[in-house]
Structure 1
Amino acid sequence: MCRGCLDLVVIIEPGDAEWVVVNEKVRRKVFSSGNLMFVIYDLDPGAEVPLHQHPEEQAGFIVKGEVEIYTDTTRRVLKEGSWYHFEPNEPHGGRVVGSQKALVVDVFTPPKKEFLEPSRK
């Protein structure tokens, strides 16, 4: 690695963003830089994101727990270590299944503008 190259890298520590309360069962932290956005979701049992769509491409990873991911044509329960992907404008939603909390990381490109305000850019 070249001397000083680390100056070109953005490093974000866990404490660099505050949890934003979306509702009583959903909290998120948003990290955004350039054309990518990372969102960490802390989800209580029973938390649900209803079927919706948006112009951003989205991929996600189940860190902890079990989450049922669905589109308008299919449903599938994903467990720790599972990945998913949605094309822009593809209707999708999800809900926590079981009695344990879930931790999910989503990546959006381009960043979701409505999530940028409460984040540290």
Structure 2
Amino acid sequence: MVLLNPIVPTDPGVTRQVLADHPNLMMVSFRFDEGAEGLLHQHPHVQATFVKSGRFEFTVGDVKEVLGPGDSIIIPSNQKHGCICQEEGELIDCFTPRRDDFV
């Protein structure tokens, strides 16, 4: 059975919806308005991000890269990272272990 979790605002122009979660893994949709930012941060979770739509400039450590639909990236544990949305879109993020702060 799939239960849809609420869509919640995070940063200005960004919303988050938990799509699935288990103590070992979590999948989350983030929707961004053009110009919105995922502020630089870090966490102990390994993160895999898939660009479902839009264009995003990602910063991971000292590296910047623009990703578009179909692109993906792995962000290691405790690596400082963030993104700027260049074209309205959606990211699908997976975290291991689960981000307990999102539930």
Q: Write out per-residue CA displacement over residues 77-120 of structure 1, whole angstroms, 9 at most, x where no aligned residue.
A: 001000000110011111101xx31110000000111111xxxx
Q: Write out per-residue CA displacement over residues 29-59 of structure 1, whole angstroms, 9 at most, x where no aligned residue.
A: 0131231101101110011112211000000
TM-score (norm: length of structure 1): 0.79
**Corresponding residue to 1:21 among 9, 12, 15:** 9
Structure 2: 5+ residue stretches without partners: none
**Corresponding residue to 2:92 among 105, 109, 118:** 105
Give the root-mean-square deviation of aligned CA atoms. Answer: 1.3
Which of 1 and 2 has greater Rg? 1
Q: Which has the higher helix share?
A: 1
Q: Percent identity?
A: 32
Q: Which has the higher strand share?
A: 2
**Corresponding residue to 2:48 among 27, 43, 59:** 59
Distance in 2 between residues matched to 1:67 and 1:76, nearest whole Å: 8
Moved segments of 4+, more than 6 Å: none
